[in-house]
Chains A and B, each alone.
Chain A
Amino acid sequence: GENVEQHPSTLSVQEGDSAVIKCTYSDSASNYFPWYKQELGKRPQLIIDIRSNVGEKKDQRIAVTLNKTAKHFSLHITETQPEDSAVYFCAASIFWGGAGNTPLVFGKGTRLSVIA
């Protein structure tokens, strides 16, 4: 089955700097890669996702890149702010369109601390 590795497990950055979190996946059939943010004591919430038909997707200060050949994808946060401090999870699954998809397999998470 699918296996998702996520690095680093912890990351500290100065406010205003960029943060990058990387994930690798094992199943070349996986084609859907979401990122979730979990603030302290809260539920995970989707912040951005990417499908394998594109190599990059941006949403304001957040971007995700995908390298299908190498089977890795990354989350990039620019101009970090204290409210970006949270645990971030990457995940992978196979999406069959109208027929549904396999369950998400999550990485172990990255605890990001933005130091003011």
Chain B
Amino acid sequence: DADVTQTPRNRITKTGKRIMLECSQTKGHDRMYWYRQDPGLGLRLIYYSFDVKDINKGEISDGYSVSRQAQAKFSLSLESAIPNQTALYFCATKGRQGGQETQYFGPGTRLLVL
């Protein structure tokens, strides 16, 4: 779904480095989310935002921060990366289309922290 994009798609970094993952959407949705996916643990919510002025912590927000720069942009930062933050990160948006509320995922960012 090209309406939700993530950059970078792959990233290798070292312990202690600051890293930012970016998400952009052209769907015009107000709600945006960041999840991480680990094998056997499913999709766990890190942060979410219902609009530009609204930021909420999810299940596993420790070690992460976010910024909602505009309706279309939602960035996830790791201030000081650690190896157990190695994971696949997904951005998602949710909005009403055709009378249905549907959540759409971006393509994912694979992060490796050495």
Contact = CB atoms under 8 A, between A and B. Distances in A.
B43 A43 contact: no
B10 to A, nearest CB: 12
A104 to B, nearest CB: 6
Interface residues of A, number: 20
A116 to B, nearest CB: 25
A104 B47 CA distance: 12
B102 A100 contact: no
A104 B1 CA distance: 19
B31 A43 contact: no
Nearest to A104: B103
B107 A103 contact: no
Q: Which of A43, A89, A104 has the most CB of B within 10 A?
A: A43
B54 to A, nearest CB: 11
Interface in B49-92: 50, 58, 90
Interface stretch (A59-67, A74-82, A106-114): A106-114
